Amino acid sequence: MSRLLPAALAVACAPAWAVEIDGRIDADEWAGAQRITDFRKVQPLTGEPGSLSTEAWVLATPEGLAVAFRNLQPPHVPLSRQKLQRDFDEQVDRVNVFIDFDGDGRTGYAFTVSASGGIADEIITNQNDFNSDWDGQWQHAVSEDADGWSVEVLIPWHTAPMRDGPEGMRTLKVFLARVIGSTGERMAWPVASFERPRFLSDFAPITVQAYSQSLLAVTPYASGLYDNVRTGSDFNAGVDVFWKPSSRFQLAATVNPDFGQVESDDLVVNFSATETFISDKRPFFTENQGIFEFTTPSDFSQLLYTRRVGSTGDIDAAVKFNGSLGRANYGVFAAEEDGPTGRSYQALRLVRDFETQNLGAMLTRVDDPFRGREATVLGVDHNWRPTQRWNVRSRLIGSRIAQGGDTVQDLGATLWADYEMDDGWRQQWIAMHFGHDLELNDFGYLSRASTNYLHWEVRKRFTDLPETSRNASVDWRWRVSTNHNDRGDKLNDRFRMSRQSQLRNGGSGDFQIDIESAGVNDQLLRGNGLVKLPENISATWEYERPREGNWAPEYGVELFSGGLAGNDRFGHAGWLGGTYFVSDAFRLNAEVIVIRRPDWLIWQGADRPDLIGTFDGRETRFNTGLDWTLDARQELRVKLQAIGIGARATGAWRFDPAGNPIAATDAVDDFNVRNLGFQVRYRYELAPLSYLYVVYARGGYARAPGSDGVDDALYDSLSLRDDEQLAVKLSYRFEL
């Protein structure tokens, strides 16, 4: 097969019999399927033929899109048989099926199956942004023999809304890949890579019969919780409904949802003015959420951040539906919180696909009666792919906030252009403007407004390395940027150089150095003035290796300056961790992180809003746990995170209007922080997307004056008991 993609590949259009998903590729079952043999290396991205023989078959059936892989694996190439939990990210032998059901490059769905039968599923947006929070319902099976291993997958047509095609046909786009766990090599068809700015758009088109499936799924739940600290119990019940009457429309609704802590967030101790972004694992908010994707180049920024919903009150009910009309896609979202501080959330999304571009708009609204506040945000996004080399993304955003009889409104705009050159060279340009009064955080997430940012980056990928090199590929990046707030104050100029390497043993090694100019921090005082900061520098190196024998290590170091001292004082961080495999089904993990901040700047609070304390801060984090896959349906997870911080005060500062520091005589106290999160979670899969959870959780947070030292703070964190709960949750999905 030619390395050049054909305009379209037709999968047999004759009526197809059902394929039995048992991991054994029967020639009669797959008769008439599109057979693919031209798998080529995409990691490292050389385009050369893959090192191991791989074949795949794609067949459209009334039940869904069926895909099979036959992977030859000689004895000298180890085959990983490690048992995995859902949405694993370990470096193991696996296959990937990526599908863009509409073929427009906006939303893709990734389905991964390991050689041991572990699965992962993700949604892909913005060309190459992956989100593993979504869990779909699809079939898979694996078999192994003396020559290799085989996989069969069936992805139902009700997985996602999709447009109708002309004359009863539909054009999908697909990407099929196989990864060798012991080397990290990824071979794929077609030659596309998520390391490039274009990924979804480079999938191969396949024309299939436009099958349609309807589905009505009702998932009631019941949960009970006992609080051992407050000696009280609680019982909840509710229901989730998913309805897809046709390929063009689907609806999800939830009544009195229970979003208990069956999933635990990582601990965060944040003294900065920037809110910590936390991804959402709640099923209702991850189900086909891709239509509402509206991001900008700013870190994690988005118009609809689902963690807002339920943050000020319990959720009474929520509904969302999405579908297509012709070549246009739409989505509607609404949620209601109860209680005196409850809010109402609404969002409307429209997207229109053209041959080489997409145009979309999104409107969100939040009604907050408790604060007498109404927040409206309108965004327009445009994605343009004029040639195979260019990918251009632009966004225009406006916000309007009405509160207490006053109305404040402002604008933001971003432009992001990537250009793929020859011989592994690429360039990137990013421009961002966020007005001082732009406000997205009633429903969305924006780390900061008042930004005027420009950067230019050039990259070079080296893949023609000698066989004696420990690296399979090396990616160098050089970036220069400048950033000013909307009042014209320079925040910083920056030079960044980074090196990312993929090793032949399947591991990775990364190095990065940042050199930052003098500038001002306009957030540290929370709007009460500027803080002028000198030049600073940071350098980071980290290494990660997949499992070899019983061990999989990772470690790294960082050296950095900063604070008012600039390059006169350097801090450091180091981390060492790893996983020990008792067996393929049972593993232990542990990680220790130590950080020293010799000139740590911390705002002293609303009662002294213009005062900054400087501290010699030491922090230790300890993470450990175990994962035990008891069998195909049962898993046990134990997770412990502890943080200890000891901070010794070294000074107090106020600042003149230009931001210059002025020594203050205010008393600033030493302090220590202790933080604990501990969870034991048992999960039993009753049926697809039906689970019994039994969860024990304990945790706490304490900040106290004085500094007992970081070691004492870490040790004392283990005795925290602000919360101690036992929760049981049962949910069962009925398909009608």
Instruction: Collect all residues with Cβ–Cβ distance below 8 Å to 364 and sequence separation of at least 6.
Output: 303, 304, 345, 346, 347, 348, 375, 376, 377, 443, 444
Determine the pLDDT at residue 259.
Answer: 57
Cβ neighbours around 347 below 10 Å, total = 23
Residue 261 has pLDDT above 80, yes or no: no
> Does residue 713 carry a pLDDT above 80?
yes
Which residues, 6 or more positions from 583, have their beta carbon under 8 angstroms from its beta carbon?
Answer: none
> What does the pLDDT average to over 582-609?
96
Mean pLDDT across 118-132: 90
Rg (CA), the chain: 27
**Structural domains in the chain?**
9-210 (2.60.40.1190), 213-236+549-736 (no CATH)
* Distance in angstroms (rounded) separating the CA atoms of residues 497 and 512: 6
Angle made by CA atoms 198, 200, 206, in degrees to the nearest 5: 130
Check whether 2 has a pLDDT greater than 80. Answer: no
Dump pLDDT digits (tens) for 449-472.
Answer: 999 999 999 999 999 999 899 999
The whole-chain average pLDDT of the chain stands at 93
Specify the DSSP element, H or E, that contains 599.
strand 586-603
pLDDT in tens, 535-564: 999 999 999 998 988 999 999 999 999 999
Higher pLDDT, 289 or 140: 140
Confidence of residue 294 (pLDDT cuts 50, 70, 90): very high
How large a percentage of the chain has pLDDT more than 70? 97
Query: Taking Cα atoms as reference points, which of 160, 122, 156, 125 lies closest to residue 138?
Result: 156
Q: Are 23 and 142 in contact (CB under 8 A)?
A: yes
Select the more confidently predicted residue: 459 or 708: 459
pLDDT of residue 543: 96
Q: What percent of the chain has pLDDT over 90?
A: 81
Residue 133 reports pLDDT greater than 90 = no
Q: Are 210 and 182 in contact (CB under 8 A)?
A: no
pLDDT at 6 over 50: no
Q: Tell me the pLDDT tens digit for each residue of 40-66.
A: 999 999 999 999 999 999 999 999 999
Amino acid 17: pLDDT: 60
**12 pLDDT tier (thresholds 50, 70, 90):** very low
Cα 97 to Cα 64: distance, rounded to the nearest angstrom: 13
Distance CA(52)–CA(727), nearest Å, equals 47
| 409 pLDDT higher than 60 | yes
Q: What is the pLDDT of residues 487-542, one digit of tens each?
A: 999 999 999 999 999 999 999 999 999 999 999 999 999 999 999 999 999 999 99
Pairing, β 9-10 against β 204-209: parallel
Q: How many CA atoms lie within 13 Å of 687's alpha carbon, on the beta-carbon side?
A: 8
Residues in a beta bridge with 174: 99, 204
Pair of tokens at residue 528: 């009460």
Distance CA 174, CA 102 (A): 11
- Tell me the average pLDDT across 325-350: 94
What's the CA gap between 23 and 33, in Å, rounded? 16
Query: Is-cis flag, bond preceding 44, omega within 30?
Result: yes
CB 159 within 8 A of CB 250: no
- pTM value > 0.75: yes
Q: How confident is the model at residue 353 (pLDDT cuts 50, 70, 90)?
A: confident
pLDDT at residue number 7:
39
